[in-house]
Structure 1
Amino acid sequence: MKKMEIFEPAMCCSTGLCGVSVDPELLRISTVLNTLKNNGVQVGRFNLTNAPQEFVTNKTVNDFIREKGVDGLPVITVDGNIAITGRYPSNEEFIKLLDVPEHFVGKIAGGAETEKSKGCGCSGGGCCC
């Protein structure tokens, strides 16, 4: 099975799903990752606030950040190689990158890419978690 890891920018909590204004893209990613997990597919998810050591020990991601900076996050790796930068995978890309059946990611909602996430969605910078 392929190994995917998601390296995200700093957020106030591990999923970014806190505060009164939740980013719909982060909600989609959390839903897809939970559905994958329920189907036996583990995807590593690390954000700079809660898992900084993962960014240090992963040479590929560390080199990327040194070259591009944290504004290039999120970085998605598959089997240790960078597959996507600056945005999250679409549902279709999850299927293709992980080589899993469609039902492993749940209902596929349209093919349009969503705009890059701009943080955890916490109102006024005050995080609940």
Structure 2
Amino acid sequence: MKKVEIFDPALCCPTGVCGPSVDPELTRMASAVFLLQKKGFDISRYNLANEPGKFAENEAVNKILHEKGPDALPVTLLDGEIIALGNYPTNEQLSEWSGINISELKEKKSVKKIDFK
């Protein structure tokens, strides 16, 4: 089984729903990672603000931070090899690596209506 590690820049939260504007890319990643973990796929995300030790422990990521600075983040590793720098993996890539159908990685819209009476 493949292992994916995503090293995020310093974020207040991984979902992107905090702060003045929502980042749809962070929301997509949070949803995809949650779904993949739920299905047993080996995928992890590390936030520079909350887990700086993970960045220091990983020689490749540490080297990138020293050479290019935090603007190079996010960094994605597949089985320990850097495969993406400065952007997140696509749902297509995640589907390919995990063997999970891409349709399962799409955000499902809630159809439940809320009654405010």
Taking structure 2 as the reference length, the TM-score comes to 0.82
Percent of matched pairs sharing the same residue: 45
| Alpha-carbon separation, structure 1, partners of 2:106 and 2:10 | 28
RMSD: 1.9
Q: Map Cα deviations across residues 21-61 of structure 1 (whole Å, 9 max, x no partner).
A: 21111000011111111211131101110000000000010
Report 1 or 2 for greater relative contact order, CA contacts < 8 Å, sequence distance ≥ 6. Answer: 1
Note if 1:102 corresponds to 2:101: yes
Q: Pairwise mapping of residues 1-129 of structure 1 onto structure 2 (< 5 A)?
A: 1-96=1-96, 98-103=97-102, 105-107=104-106
Q: Is the contact between residue 72 and residue 86 of structure 1 (CA under 8 Å) also seen in structure 2?
A: yes
Query: Where does structure 2 lack aligned partners over 5 or more consecutive residues?
Result: 108-117
Q: Is the contact between residue 32 and residue 91 of structure 1 (CA under 8 Å) also seen in structure 2?
A: yes
| Paired residues, number | 107
Residue number in structure 1 paired with 2:115:
none
Q: Which structure has the bigger radius of gyration?
A: 2
Q: Which moved more, 1:37-46 or 1:74-83?
A: 37-46
Taking structure 1 as the reference length, the TM-score comes to 0.75
Residue number in structure 2 paired with 1:118:
none
Q: Which moved more, 1:30-39 or 1:73-82?
A: 30-39
Query: Where does structure 1 lack aligned partners over 5 or more consecutive residues?
Result: 109-129
| Alpha-carbon separation, structure 1, partners of 2:94 and 2:59 | 23
